[in-house]
Chains A and B, each alone.
Chain A
C-alpha cells in the first residue's frame, strides 16, 4: 500500500519536475532532493525505473541530446499525455488532501 502510494507520488513529482521543460535524469533527482529538503527519501535507481516506465507508457518522450559540457545525455520531455496525466493527478491529490484536512480539522 505504502509502496503503491510512494510509486504514484513519485510519478507526480517527476511529472512536476518536467513541467518546466526537458531535463535529464540527474537534474530531476537534484531538483527533487532540493525541493523536498530530503524529506522524501527516494533512491535514485527507483527514479530512473519510474522515468523509463513512464516513457514507455507514453507520458514522457526521451531523446539523446548534448549538455553544455558536450556530454551525451538523455533528456526527458513531457508529452501531451503526460501533461494531462499530471493535471489529473494534481487534482486528485488536492481533493484527497482537502478531504483528509476536513476530517482532521473537524472539531
Chain B
C-alpha cells in the first residue's frame, strides 16, 4: 500500500452517506463556480456565464445522483475489503504470536481438545440414539412407530409396543386410505444342529416392510410387497454385515442357503450396510413371517388375538398428520377389540416418532445418554473456564503491549477482535485434535454403552463435523470473550505508568471467579463419580442369595423332535446325568427359569384371596430339581430341601423365601403352612424356607419367591445350572460338549457363566462409574492446573509486596501461609458451591443408584477432602517459590 493511499483511507474511512453527498455537492459547486468565473473573465455577462457553465456540465441533478451512487458503492467495497484484509492480518498475526509461545498454545489446544472431543463423541451417540431414525430408514417425516397405551387403575398409563397379528391386519385394512402398515418381530433362532449350530438374530417381517422403510437392496433383491405366501424353498434377505462376515462379500451370498429352525432358506438379497430394520436391535437376516413363525408363535399366529408380538411401523400419506393417523388407528383397533379381543377395546394408538428413543413414555437409554451428554458438557465448561483463565493470565502479561496498541490508536473493538481471532485459531487446533481423540472415544463407547447397537459409517461424519465446528466457535467465544473484553478495557495510562514495581498489583477478580467455577464443576463431577462407583461396588457385592462365581448356566433347546412330556423329561434327565459325570462338577440341577433372564408368575392365593402387591415384586415361581439349592449354594435355613420323594402324585410341596414367608404368615412358623396357586388344584404345603434372593432385577428389595419340585410342576422350559469346583477345570466348552454328547442333534446350545449374566445387570452402574470417574479426574486435573496457574501468577505479580513484607520481618512461613491461604480460599469457595449444587441436583439420579443415597455424607466428605488436598498441592508449589524469594534481590529489581 502506498503511503498516499493509506492516508486517503485514513481520511476517507468514515464514509457515511451524509459526508458522501456533501463531498459530491462541494465538488460540483466548485466546478460550476470556477467555470463561471473563467467565462466572466473571458467577457461573458454573469447570467450568460451561469447558463453556459450549466450547459457545459449537462444534467447536474443526474450527475449528482450517479456520482453519489458510485461513491457509496465504492465506500462499501472499501469497507468490506478492509474488513476481510483485517481478518487475514489478525489471523496471520495470531499464528505468529502463538508460534512464539508453543507451550501455551499446546496447553490451550489440548484442554479444548479434551472438552470438545468428549462432546463430539457423545454427540455421535446422542445423534444415533435420539435424533436420527435407524440407518437407511426413510427420514422424510412420513413414518411413525406405533405405541399402544392403556390406562390401568394399578399402574397408571401403560405403554407397550407390540400387537397381535389379527389386530395388525384389521388396523392395516382400516388405515389403508391414509397409508400403510408394516410389522416385524426379532428373535434369536438356532441355525444348524450339533457342534456346527449357531445363534442368529432373525427378523420376521411382513413383506412390505422394506418398501415402507424406503430401503433398497444393496445387491440382489428384497421381498416384493406382496411376496407373502410360504414358498417351497423359502427365501431370506441378509444384512450387509452378515453377508460380509460369512461369505466374504455381499455379492457371494446370493443363492447360498441358510438353515433356520427346521427349514433351509435361500438368500435372495442383501440390505445396505448398517440397516437392521426400524429399530436399532442387531439383526442377521430377514424372513417373511409365514415361513417359520408357527414354530415360534404357534400355528394359530394368524388368528390368535391374545399373543401380542408384532412391532408395527406406519407410513402416512403426505397430508396425514401423526395425530390423525393415531385417531384413525385407535378407532380401528377399538372396533377390532369390541368384536374380537376385549383387551384392545380401550387402547389408544399413538403414532410416535420413528426414532425409538423418543417413545412417548421415555426410554431408559435416552435418559442415560442425556445424562452422559450433560456430564460431557460440564467437562467442556471446565475446559473453557481453564482456557479463559490462561488467556486472562496472558492478557495481563501482555498488558503493556496492548496498551501500546491502544495508545497508537487501534480501537478497543479492533483489539478485541484480534484477541478473539487468536482464541478461534486455538479452538480450531483444539477441534482438529478433538476429532482425532474422538476416534478413540468412539471405540471406547462402542465397547461400553453401545455393545448391542449396530454402528456404521465413517469415524467422523458430516453431522459430527458440523457439531465440532459449532463447539469450536462456541467454546472459543466463551473462553475468549472475557479475556478480550478485559484486555480491550486496559486503560492506556495505567498500564504504561505501572512498571514492574507497582506490578499491576490488583488481582483479577475474573480469574478468581473462573477458578471457583472450575472447582465447583469438578466437585459435581467427582460426587457423580463417587455415587456411581459406590452404586457399582454395592451392586457388585450385593447379596444375591446365590453364588454366581463358578456357576455355569446352559440353555439347550430341544426343539421339535420331542413328542410327549415324558420324552421331554427323559431328554433333560439324560443331559443332566451326562453333565454330572464331568470331573470337577459339584452339582447339576434343572431349573425352569434363569436368574435375571426369565421369570414366571402365577397368582398366589391365601385362603382363597389373591395377595396385595409385594414390595420388591413377585411372588415369582420356579420349578427346580433336587440339587438346585446345592448348585446355587443357597442354604435351606428352615425345614428341608426337596428330595426324590417329592414327585408327581405325592403330596404337593413348596419351598418359599423369607420375604414370601413374612408376607404370607407374619410372625407364624411357615413350615407346614399351606397356600394355593390359581392355576393349580389343591394347596402346596411349605416344607422349607430359603433366604431372599435377587434373581429378577438388581433392585434394592428382593422379591417374594417360591419353588416347586419339577416333578410336580413341569413346564417345557428348562435350563441346567452347573456348579463347578473352585479349582475349576470344567469350562463352558466342556459343558456344551457333554450336552451335545448326550443329545447330538440339538440346535445351538448356549452355555454361559452366571457371572456374565450378572455383568449385564451391572452394566449401567459400571458405565456411570467409568464415565463419571474419567471425566471427574479430567475435570480435577484441569481445575488443579487452573488453580496452580492463578496462584503462581499471583505470586509473580506480588513479588514486590512479598519482598517488602519479608524485609519488614515476615518469616518464610508467614509468606507461605499467605500464598497457600489465598489458594485455599478459592478452592473452598468452589467446594462449597459444588457441594451445594450436587446436593440439589443429585436427587435427580437417585433412581439410577443402587443402595446409595444421592446425598451420601461419606462421598461428599471424601470429595471435599480430595479437592482440598489437590488444591493444597497446587498452591504449595508457588508458595515454596514465594518463601524462597530473596527480598533484597526482588526489591532491587
Residues of chain A touching chain B, judged by Cβ–Cβ distance below 8 Å, are: 24-26, 29-30, 43-46, 48-49, 52-53, 55-56, 61-64, 71-74, 77, 79-80
Contact = CB atoms under 8 A, between A and B. Distances in A.
A73 B77 CA distance: 24
A61 B30 contact: no
Contact of B74 (A24, A30, A56, A79): A56
Contact of A26 (B31, B66, B71): B31
B66 A49 contact: yes
A29 B11 contact: no
A77 B62 contact: no
B376 to A, nearest CB: 52
B697 to A, nearest CB: 78
Chain B contact residues: over half helix, strand or loop, or mixed?
helix
Contact of B67 (A29, A48, A77): A48
A16 to B, nearest CB: 19
B70 interface: yes
A52 B70 contact: yes
What 8 pairs across the A-B complex have the smallest Cβ distances? A45-B63, A56-B74, A43-B58, A45-B58, A44-B57, A26-B34, A52-B70, A26-B31
Contact of A48 (B8, B31, B73): B31
B8 A49 contact: no
B35 interface: yes
A26 B2 contact: no
Nearest to B60: A45
B23 interface: yes
A48 B56 contact: no
A72 B7 CA distance: 17
Given A62-B8, A74-B23, A49 B2 contact: no
B34 A63 contact: no
Given A45-B62, A49-B70, A79-B5, A29 B77 contact: no
A18 B730 CA distance: 104
Contacts of A62: 8
Contacts of B566: none
B2 A45 contact: no
Given A26-B30, A72-B26, A73-B30, A45 B57 contact: yes
B4 A53 contact: no
Interface in B399-432: none
A56 B63 CA distance: 16
Contacts of A44: 31, 35, 56-58
Taking residues whose C-beta sits less than 8 angstroms from the other chain, chain B's interface range is 20 to 34
Nearest to A71: B30
Interface string B62-91: 110011001101100100000000000000
Given A30-B38, A56-B73, A56-B77, A48 B11 contact: no
Contacts of B5: 61, 79
Residue of B5, B27, B59, B71 with highest tally of chain A CB at under 10 A: B27
Contacts of A63: 4, 7-8, 11-12
Nearest to B53: A44
A101 B309 CA distance: 98
A71 B38 CA distance: 16
Given A45-B60, A56-B74, A56-B77, 14 more contacts: A26-B30, A26-B34, A29-B31, A43-B58, A45-B57, A45-B59, A45-B63, A48-B28, A61-B8, A63-B8, A63-B12, A74-B23, A74-B27, A79-B5
A66 B60 CA distance: 24
Interface in B521-564: none
Contacts of B31: 25-26, 29, 44, 48
Given A44-B56, A44-B57, A45-B60, A80 B7 contact: no
A43 B30 contact: no
A52 B66 CA distance: 10
Nearest to B75: A56
Given A43-B57, A61-B5, A80-B2, A26 B67 contact: no
Contacts of A30: 34, 38
A55 B30 contact: no
A41 B23 CA distance: 26
B885 to A, nearest CB: 58
Interface string B1-20: 01011011001100000000
A26 B74 CA distance: 22
A64 to B, nearest CB: 7
Interface in B23-57: 23, 26-28, 30-31, 34-35, 38, 56-57
A25 B24 CA distance: 11
A61 B70 contact: no
Contacts of B35: 26, 29, 44
B71 A52 contact: yes
B70 A53 contact: yes
A80 B3 CA distance: 12
B13 to A, nearest CB: 12
A56 B70 contact: yes
Nearest to A22: B4
Interface string B227-267: 00000000000000000000000000000000000000000
A52 B4 contact: no
